[in-house]
Chains A and B, each alone.
Chain A
Amino acid sequence: KVSMEDLQRLTWENAIAVKLQLSPDSITSPVRPNPIYVLVSRQGFLSSLGAQAWPHFQHVLPSLPGQQNQQLAWFDYKHLPLRGNLPIGVLFDLLGSDEACGSSIPWELTVHYTAQPEALASWQNGLPQHVQYFHSLKEACFISRGPDGSAAVMKMTGPAQDSLWSAVEGAETSRYLEILSSLKMVPASRQEGVSASLPCRLIVRTFTGSLLDLWDTTFMTSRPVSATRPDGAWTTLNDVLSDLLPDLQFPASGS
């Protein structure tokens, strides 16, 4: 048997091997730098990969005031711009493990230090990555514990939020779990006779054509999921998917 703590640790320590090369449109030097190979946590975000790449590539980038160059980092997979608000593991599951894309390990990505394409900017709605993360966290806490849940996140001090985001980016499991425990996110029933709700986010890929059309044919939905079915049994993954995607046929739970 695996304890919950061990399961959480295994989830956070699961990493993906990435080969990262610098895009030619970002290079001022006549010599293209060698790619770098890094392990990135599935739970992390592309911003953490950008931070790892910066020391290796900054010497060939055009000089800009302050940290402006580093903040411009965005990534593509086979010319498909990658949405930075999705965890790296989710991105890889959407793209990197698809045999149709001819993918392999290490996962080959390209980093750019230029202005982001419009498609990425519109997806982010002008919000920095860590802000989007905290919006997701507040929504999850609201689902788990109602207004008190989201309020707990908003009551975090600035340094505490920075520390949490730093732990997420650095895949620092212990620090992440310690800070998160203070939010008391464990779902609880808020009304007698009503089951607790679990936060669920589903990303559905429907494309069958060009990889570059992926984001036009992928949608994301978040919603509460009841922990138990009306008959009192635990809600299964099949139940969740059948509810979210009623047009698809999933085997009934228990079959």
Chain B
Amino acid sequence: MSTVDDKVVVVFRAAGSAPILQQTKVKVSRDSKFSKLVIFLRKQLKTDSVFVYLREAFTPCLDDDVSVLTKAYGIDGKLHVNYSLTPAWG
């Protein structure tokens, strides 16, 4: 897992017509919940209507630890999160 101290690297990837974030990579503490990433995206995109996906397929449990999700679904130790403003992967 790609960690610096107790951090996990999260990579945000825009899908569909969603704008690309100014900061596409962030580091969060290992015990952060996935919901924290959703809240971050809503704030950055200035909308509550944000759809998030892992592995370009599914939305995980919001209260799962980012470290758990990275271990299970990460790529090269990083958690890649796709986001869109409309449902992208049905």
CB neighbours (8 Å) of A223 from chain B are: 64, 68, 71-72
Bound-complex Cα distance A82 to B63 (A): 17
Question: Contacts of B1 on A, CB cut-off 8 Å?
Answer: none
Interface pair B49/A126, CB less than 8 Å apart:
yes
A108-131 with Cβ < 8 A to chain B: 123, 125-127, 131
CA–CA, A219 and B61, complex, Å:
9
Query: Given A221-B68, A223-B68 in contact, is the A139-B58 Cβ separation under 8 Å?
Result: yes
Taking the closest CB of chain A, its distance from the CB of B60, in whole angstroms, is: 6
Could you tell me if B38 and A125 are in contact, using CB atoms closer than 8 angstroms?
Answer: yes
Question: Which B residues touch A219, using CB under 8 A?
Answer: 63
- In the bound complex, what is the Cα–Cα distance between A66 and B71 (angstroms)? 46
Digitize B53-90: 1 where CB-to-A-CB distance is under 8 Å, 0 elsewhere. 01101111111110010011100000000000001011
Contact A150 B72 (CB under 8 A): no
- In chain A, what residue has the closest Cβ to B38? A125
A212 within 8 A of B: no
Is B48 close to A, CB under 8 A?
A: yes
Q: How far is the CA of A131 from the CA of B87 in the complex (A)?
A: 10
Q: Give chain B residues whose Cβ lies under 8 Å from the Cβ of A201.
A: 61
Chain A residues whose C-beta falls within 8 Å of the C-beta of B87 in the assembled complex: 131
Contact residue among B55, B65, B90 (Cβ-Cβ distance under 8 Å from A221): B65
| Interface status of A142 (Cβ within 8 A of chain B) | yes
Contacts of A150 in B (CB 8 A): 55, 57-58
Total number of A residues with any Cβ neighbor in B under 8 Å: 24
A208-255 interface (Cβ within 8 A of B): 219-224
The verdict on A101 contacting chain B, using a C-beta distance below 8 Å, is no
Interface bits A124-168 vs B (CB < 8 Å: 1, else 0): 011100011011101100110001001100100000000000000
Q: Given B57, B58, B59, B90, which contacts A125 in the complex, CB threshold below 8 Å?
A: B59
Q: What residues of B have a CB within 8 angstroms of the CB of A143 in the complex?
A: 72
Do the beta carbons of A142 and B57 come within 8 Å of each other?
yes
Q: Do residues B48 and A151 form an inter-chain contact, with CB atoms below 8 A?
A: no
B42 CB to nearest chain A CB (Å):
10
Given A126-B48, A126-B49, A154-B89: A222 and B55 interface contact (C-beta under 8 Å): no
B72 to chain A: which residues have CB within 8 Å? 143, 223-224
Task: From A123, A126, A131, A138, give the contact of B57 (CB < 8 A).
Answer: A138
B57, closest chain A residue (CB) = A150
- B64 & A135 in contact (Cβ 8 Å cutoff): no
B-chain residues with CB within 8 Å of residue A126 when the two chains form the complex:
48-49
Which residues of A sit under 8 angstroms from B89, Cβ to Cβ? 138, 154
Interface string of B23-62 (1 = CB under 8 A from A): 0000000000000001000000000110000110111111
Chain A residues, CB < 8 A from B59: 125, 127, 132, 135
Among B55, B65, B71, B90, which residue has its beta carbon within 8 angstroms of that of A147?
B55
B39 to chain A, nearest CB (A): 10
Residues of B within 8 A of A (CB): 38, 48-49, 54-55, 57-65, 68, 71-73, 87, 89-90
Query: Can you list 5 A-B contacts with CB-CB less than 8 angstroms, sorted by A residue number?
Result: A125-B59, A135-B58, A219-B63, A222-B64, A223-B71
A interface residue numbers (CB < 8 A to B): 123, 125-127, 131-132, 134-136, 138-139, 142-143, 147, 150-151, 154, 201, 219-224
